[in-house]
Amino acid sequence: MKGAEPIFLPGRKRIGVLLYHGWSSSPQEFNPTYTDSTVKHLQKLGYTVYVPLSRGHGTQPDDLRGIKWENWLADARQHYDEFSKEVKRLVVGGMSMGANIALTIAAERPVAGVMSMGTPIFYRAHPLFVLWVWLWRRSQKLKTKRYWEPDKNIALKKVHYIQYPPESVHQTVRSGPWAKKLLTRIKA
């Protein structure tokens, strides 16, 4: 998928910022062409910035099939371990599912700070809704995202999947309770 490549921007400081993108998105979530760039702003402040591409993303929607939350987390741990060798101190952050990953990494490893944007960990679902999601995720047919009309033009400019396998939504939902239970262990 054009534009879904990982981002690495060297900075003046020995402080790195490792950002994780959200579900069905790409690293360009932090470097959009239609608005201000988070990664370029951080680089101007002197930080070295790295935004890896999560497994199953940036190619085609079917590549999300069979990917588990634990796969994304294992990759994130590896990205942290590799990037932490390049910098003296490390800040982690993420958007949506990527924020759950960042919170989990911050609970497990030393970080200088953590940024959590649009983090899906504080939600309550009616038991019938939970049952519906459980049944719905078994569908093999790709679903197409629907956008609220005022946001549609911006949403369609993003480098992300417009279609997705329902089972991948379930993996994102699973990441929330995992990250939530680790919040008290974050020392940043």
Q: Which runs of E-coded beta strand occur in the chain?
A: 7-9, 15-20, 48-51, 89-95, 113-117, 143-144, 163-164
List the one residue out of 88, 115, 87, 86 whose CA is nearest residue 101.
115
Q: Are 94 and 22 in contact (CB under 8 A)?
A: yes
pTM of the model: 0.90
Residue 156 domain-assigned (yes or no): yes
pLDDT for position 25: 95
Q: For 146-156, what is each residue's pLDDT tens digit?
A: 888 888 888 88
Non-local CB neighbours of 77 within 8 Å, separated by 6+ positions: 105, 108, 109
CATH number, position 179: 3.40.50.1820
pLDDT band at 131 (very low <50, low <70, confident <90, very high): confident
pLDDT band at 174 (very low <50, low <70, confident <90, very high): confident
Q: For 79-129, what is each residue's pLDDT tens digit?
A: 999 999 999 999 999 999 999 999 999 999 999 999 999 988 877 767 777
Residue, of 13 and 127, whose pLDDT is higher: 13
The range of the structural domain enclosing residue 47 comes to: 7-185
Q: Is the pLDDT of residue 56 over 80?
A: yes
Phi, psi of 154 (to 5 degrees): -70, -45
Number of domains in the chain: 1
Residue 2 domain-assigned (yes or no): no
Mean pLDDT over each residue of the chain, to the nearest integer: 91
List the one residue out of 107, 83, 103 whose CA is nearest residue 93.
103
**Cα torsion for 141, 146, 51, 187, to the nearest 10°?**
-100
